[in-house]
Chain A
Amino acid sequence: MIRVDMSKCTGCRRCETVCAFFHTGKVSNRLARIKVVNLYESGIDGPVVCAQCKERYCMDCPVNALTIGSGGQIIYSPTGCVLCGTCETQCPIGAIEVFNECVYVCDLCGGRPKCVEACTEGAITYDPDGDMSLESLEKAEKMNPDQKRHNYVRKQGEELRKTWRGERA
């Protein structure tokens, strides 16, 4: 899985940029499988990417267009997909999203994630054996992926802000 340490993130979005570029040859946050949230009211920045969660909410896919690869990554089959949006709705953190008739989710770049290489700050690291649970999060099915990412980063950032305040008190 790709681990995120938000305390090191500067919000530069290099992860997002290289992700889009190396998958599509183009640059746009919509084409990226890792997306950065910049919170201007609190100074928090953080990328959101598939956590390869234990729960595997996205596997509710009714047509089995998603499978799990040997690295734990999600493998997407565009030919099987009917664009129903179930995966997008089910993911609690907005890490999988339908855009322009295609599903965007982290594929680990075949085991050498480009976002990790691009991050000069060590905010993103690759941990082949790691996993995590998202069970404690609210399901938030009514939110769009953008709102879910925002919510997730904001909540994660609360702890970080406490640390900042503590250090500066």
Chain B
Amino acid sequence: MPNYGYGGRILRIDLAEQNVRTEKLHSSWVKPVVGGRAANTKRLFEEIDPDCDPLGPDNVLIFGVGPLTGSLLPASAYYTVTAKSPLTGILGDSAAGGQFAAEMKLTGFDQIIMTGAADNLVYVMVTDQGADMVECPHYAGKTIVETTESIRKDRNDYSIQVAAVGPAGEKCVLYATIVSSGNRVNGRTGMGAVMGSKKVKAVAVRGSLPVEVKDPLVFLSEVKKVEKTIQNHPEYKKRYHMGTTMLMQDLNNIGILPTNHFQKGVCKYIDEISGERLAALYKVKNKACFNCNLHCSRYYICGDTEAEGPEFETLCSFTSRIGNYDLEFALEMNWYLNQMGLDSISTGEVIGWLIECQERGLICPEEVDGLRITWGDKDAIRDTVKKIVFREGIGDTLANGATKVSKQFNEKAQHLVMQVKGLDIICGDPRGIKAYGLTYAVSSRGADHLRAEPYFELTNRKQEAVRRFGTEKAADRLSEEGKAALVVYSEKIALLCDSITMCKNIGLCMDVLNFENCSALLTAGTGIAYTPEYLKKIMEDSVDLQHNLNKRFGLQREDDTLPERFIKEPLPEGLTKGSTVDITRMVEEYYKIHRWE
């Protein structure tokens, strides 16, 4: 059992039998995966029946933190939730920041593993001593904040942190989320549906076992360097001011802001929906995750709505992507989706897809319960989202996600779903960011940027590109050259961030974490000797493990591709005009570097 960094224990909860068991975390088991997401993947690999029903009792739901979570390291505020995804049928996981992870760490459990399903709605209260399952039928239908506050109040302890599902999770909407710290979302791949299927309304944590590092002085000096890198970063001011919503203008400027469901990459009403406008008119203060010195999140008030965020993905999903130019509507939806527990990207896709299909005459209103929906039609969008949350009427169908719904319609409609492996694509048109395109195609949880987040290709650092990836083209967003190498490098750093754990926006986008400083931090933190070479190797192995797990779930190489639109249709205007993605070439190179097949 490791003595430093780690809590050193794992907690197993059988929800059907109401049985709770504590096990030791063995150093030999955890060393090659570090912790967090990589450890969760290994656990899933070892314990999941690949053929199990993702919404049945056999699915394994894992909450995991890493050796540096909740430590002095800035932004060490992340936890990952892992299970077989009900949306995609493959590896599902999603990480979130906020305050939950640091408190979970103090319980001394590095992983909480839930199997079976409870008979009635419960919340799980985890402390140093283990876990209690508390029946809470009266919490049914409560929002995230209501659930959080109810648990804190009932237990007379406002330091409790809560990760809950909203009504969408209770109804097993396939892209339901888990939300902690009020607005911090494990958004992708439907982890909220898995938790809902197990009849778990919330996981609450409160611990008292401190995070101890092996060598506090060395650790401190490494932490100071990281803090300085963040503080002196050229993007610090911009990120502090707007957080990820800075990307609205940035992506629009280079012609890749998804507009009208990826039909365009330039949005004419960008100034109405930009991060600048949001900050000027609605932001009241900055917010931060545990121990972060960037404070990139924001709290806003807009009429009767107030919430933290929105992040770029939600903002874009509910403005340009679905043809809406009313920022206030997007702010209302951010609050609603967070409190109901629904993934904004997948929700935005199902709506955008339906609108485009209706526009093209591929789906008529009679086929979708009389629903007629057009670009930016706020009333219809609001009403549809509400129906999805509660699985009412057409919402019951749309709750299965655009990919599954499209199977009821013709091939043209199916091709219009912007997805890979059943997961809806994020907001960023790959025709103008080729490394992102490759990331969406090969990502082990389906179309998503966070598996590699190759932000480097947007930073125009040509010399650095030659040094790291052998060609200056790696820093040219429109080129396919060198992108496989960039993605293979970035996916290791992304995994490292998720495993130690640290925010990827800081670790990866701001290029703060690398094998050198990470091995120094881990060695001083855990007392286990990590070298940069060893870290690199075990991250490679962990990427292989994800790949092999997905093979068990039935994935094939053909699944590593992009929607037809990005391969065949050039963008019509702007700085990415005329561009398409040569995905075959990049995937081939990617496989070659990984030595797969």
B203-220 CB mask vs A (1 if < 8 Å, else 0) is 000011111100010001
CB distance from A88 to the nearest CB of B (A): 15
A43 to B287 alpha-carbon distance, docked (Å): 9
Q: Are B149 and A40 in contact (CB under 8 A)?
A: yes
Looking at the complex, which of A17-25, A52-60, A103-111, A129-137 is the stretch in contact with chain B?
A17-25
Q: Determine if B347 is an interface residue (Cβ-Cβ < 8 Å).
A: no
- Residues in chain A near residue B158, CB distance under 8 A: 37, 146-147, 149-150
Residues on B with C-beta less than 8 A from A24 are: 210
With A11-B287, A168-B302: A120-B293 Cβ-Cβ less than 8 Å: yes
B299 within 8 A of A: yes
Mask of A1-42 contacts with B, CB within 8 angstroms, 1/0:
000000110111110011011001111111100010110111
A40 touches B290 (CB 8 A): no
Interface residues of B in 113-162 (CB under 8 A from A): 145, 148-149, 156-159
Q: Is B201 an interface residue (CB 8 A)?
A: no
Q: Does A165 belong to the interface (CB within 8 Å)?
A: yes
Chain B residue numbers with a CB within 8 Å of A64 are: none
B208 contacts across to A, CB distance below 8 A: 28, 30, 99-100
Q: Give min CB distance, B65 to chain A, whole Å.
A: 13
| A144-165 at interface with B (beta carbon < 8 Å) | 144, 146-147, 149-150, 164-165
The residues of B that contact A144 with a CB separation of less than 8 Å are 156-157
Listed stretches B278-286, B412-420, B580-588; interface member: B278-286
In the assembled complex, A141 has its CB within 8 A of some CB on chain B: no
**Residue of A12, A35, A37 most packed against chain B (CB within 10 A):** A12
Q: Across the interface, do A7 and B285 meet the contact criterion of CB distance under 8 Å? A: yes
1/0 per residue B280-309: CB within 8 Å of A?
A: 011011111111110101010110001010
Docked Cα-Cα span, A27 to B291, in Å, equals: 11
Contact A38 B284 (CB under 8 A): no
A27-B211, A43-B308, A164-B284 as given contacts; A120 in contact with B231, CB under 8 Å: yes
Known: A20-B210, A26-B212, A146-B156. A40 touches B70 (CB 8 A): no
A17 to B289 alpha-carbon distance, docked (Å)? 13
Taking the closest CB of chain B, its distance from the CB of A76, in whole angstroms, is: 19
> Is A167 engaged at the interface, CB distance under 8 Å to the other chain?
yes
Which B residues are CB-close (under 8 A) to A20? 210
Assess the B291–A10 pair: CB atoms within 8 A: no
Interface hits, B421-435 → A, CB 8 Å: none
Interchain CB contact under 8 A, B301 and A12: no
B88 contacts the other chain (Cβ, under 8 Å)?
no
Chain B hits for A8, CB < 8 A: 285
Closest A residue to B211 using CB positions: A27
Q: Which residue of B lies closest to A149 (CB)?
A: B158
Separation in Å of the B453 CB from the closest CB of chain A? 22
Judge whether A43 and B284 touch: CB under 8 Å: yes
- B284 surroundings in chain A (CB, below 8 A): 43, 164, 167-168
* A21, B73: Cα distance in complex, Å: 11
Q: Are A10 and B286 in contact (CB under 8 A)?
A: yes
- Say whether B494 faces chain A, with CB atoms less than 8 Å apart: no
B278: min CB distance to chain A, Å = 12
B71 within 8 A of partner (CB): yes
A41 touches B182 (CB 8 A): yes
Whether A29 lies near B159 (C-beta < 8 A) is yes
Contacts of B576 in A (CB 8 A): none
By a CB distance below 8 angstroms, the chain A residues around B306 are 42-43
CB distance from B512 to the nearest CB of A (A): 16
Residues from chain B with a CB closer than 8 A to the CB of A25 are 212, 216
Task: Tell me if B99 and A10 are in contact (CB < 8 A).
Answer: no
Q: Of all chain B residues, which has the CB nearest A154?
A: B158
Q: Mark B186-209 against chain A: 1 for CB-CB distance below 8 A, else 0.
A: 000000000000000000000111
Q: A58: shortest Cβ distance to chain B, in Å?
A: 21
Q: Does B350 contact A (CB under 8 A)?
A: no
B106 within 8 A of A: yes
Q: Is the CB–CB distance between B148 and A40 below 8 Å?
A: yes
Known: A43-B287, A167-B284. Is A120-B156 also a contact (CB below 8 A)?
A: no
B497 in contact (CB, < 8 A): no
Of A17, A40, A100, the most chain B CB neighbours within 10 A belong to A40
**Which of chain A's residues have a CB closer than 8 A to the CB of B71?**
27
B181 CB-CB contact with A under 8 Å? yes
CA distance A97 to B406 in the complex (A): 58
Interface residue B40 (Cβ < 8 Å from any Cβ of A): no
Q: Enumerate chain A residues within 8 angstroms of B159, measured Cβ to Cβ.
A: 29, 35, 146
CB of A40 within 8 A of CB of B183, answer: yes
Given the interface contacts A28-B106, A28-B210, A30-B208, does A13 sit within 8 Å of B291 by beta carbon?
A: yes
- Residues of B contacting A99 with CB < 8 Å? 208
Asked if A40 contacts B181 (CB within 8 A), the reply is yes
Which of these, B72, B106, B157, B288, contacts A12 with CB under 8 Å?
A: B288
Report chain A residues within 8 Å CB of B106: 28-30
> Min CB distance, A107 to chain B, in Å?
19
Give Cα A17 to B216, complex, Å: 13
- CA of A42 to CA of B158 in the docked complex: distance in angstroms? 14
Known: A12-B293, A40-B149, A150-B158. A31 touches B210 (CB 8 A): yes
A169 CB to closest chain B CB (Å) equals 10
Instruction: List residues of chain A with CB within 8 A of the CB of B102.
Output: 13
- The answer to whether A147 and B183 touch (CB under 8 A), given A12-B291, A40-B145, is no
| A147 contact set on B, CB distance < 8 A | 156, 158
Decide: A43 near B291, CB < 8 A? Known: A25-B212, A144-B156: no
Nearest to B157 among chain A residues (CB) is A146
Question: How far apart sit A30 and B148, CA to CA, in the bound complex (Å)?
Answer: 21
Known: A13-B99, A146-B158, A147-B156. A27 touches B72 (CB 8 A): yes
| Bound CA–CA A150/B149 (angstroms) | 12
Q: A24-B210, A25-B212 are in contact. Are A17 and B287 (CB under 8 A)?
A: no
Structural contact, B156 and A10, CB atoms closer than 8 A: no
Residues of A near B290 (CB, < 8 A) are 12-13, 17
Query: What A residues does B231 contact at CB under 8 A?
Result: 120
Please report the C-alpha to C-alpha distance between residue A1 and residue B190 in the assembled complex, in whole angstroms: 48
State the 6 A-B residue pairs at the shortest beta-carbon distance, nearest first. A40-B182, A12-B288, A28-B210, A26-B210, A43-B299, A150-B158
**8 interchain pairs, CB-CB under 8 A:** A13-B102, A26-B211, A27-B210, A28-B207, A30-B208, A40-B183, A41-B149, A168-B302
Q: Which residues of A contact B (CB under 8 A)?
A: 7-8, 10-14, 17-18, 20-21, 24-31, 35, 37-38, 40-43, 45, 99-100, 120-121, 144, 146-147, 149-150, 164-165, 167-168
Q: A27-B71, A28-B210 are in contact. List 16 more A-B contacts (CB 8 A).
A: A10-B288, A12-B291, A12-B292, A13-B99, A13-B102, A14-B291, A17-B291, A26-B210, A30-B106, A40-B148, A43-B287, A43-B299, A120-B293, A121-B286, A121-B295, A168-B281
